[in-house]
Amino acid sequence: MSTRRAVLLVGSARPRGTGNSEALGGYVLARLAEGGMDTEVFHVARCQRPERERFLFEAVDGADLFVLSAPLYVDSLPYLVTRCCERMAAHRAAMQEGSAVRFLAVVNCGFPELEHTRTALDICRVFARQAGLAWTGGLGLGGGEAIGGRPLEEVGGMTRHVRRGLDLAAAALLAGRPIPEEAQALLARPMIPSRLYTFIGDIGWLKAARRQGTLRRLRDRPLR
How is 21-61 classified by DSSP, letter by letter?
Answer: HHHHHHHHHHHHHHTT-EEEEEEGGG--SHHHHHHHHHHHH
| Residue number with CB closer to another protein (33 or 48) | 48
Smallest distance from another protein to CB 194, Å: 7
Residue 219 near another protein by CB under 8 A: yes
Q: Bridge partners of 71?
A: 108
Residue 134 near another protein by CB under 8 A: no
Size of the site for another protein (CB under 8 A): 47
Q: Is residue 45 a contact partner of residue 52, using CB atoms and an 8 Å limit?
A: no
Of 59-67, 85-93, 154-162, 163-171, which part binds another protein (CB under 8 A)?
85-93
Contact with another protein (CB under 8 A) among 16, 79, 182, 185: 79
Residue 70 near another protein by CB under 8 A: no
Q: Which of 130, 59, 60 has the alpha carbon at shortest distance from 101?
A: 60
Q: Is residue 9 a contact partner of residue 56, using CB atoms and an 8 Å limit?
A: yes
Smallest distance from another protein to CB 115, Å: 7
Burial 49-60 (b: 16+ CB within 10 A, else e): eeeebeebbebb
Residue 133 near another protein by CB under 8 A: no
Q: Which of 75, 68, 79 has the alpha carbon at shortest distance from 45?
A: 79
| Residue number with CB closer to another protein (95 or 208) | 208
Residue 117 near another protein by CB under 8 A: no
Of 34-42, 53-61, 66-74, 167-175, which part binds another protein (CB under 8 A)?
66-74
Of 24-32, 49-57, 74-82, 175-183, which part binds another protein (CB under 8 A)?
74-82
SS (H, E, C) 75-119: CECCHHHHHHHHHHHHHHHCCCCCCCCEEEEEEECCCCCHHHHHH
Residue 71 near another protein by CB under 8 A: yes
Contacts to another protein by CB under 8 A: 12-14, 19, 71, 73-80, 82-83, 85-86, 89, 111-113, 115-116, 119, 122-124, 126-127, 130, 194, 198, 201-202, 205, 208-209, 212, 214, 217-224
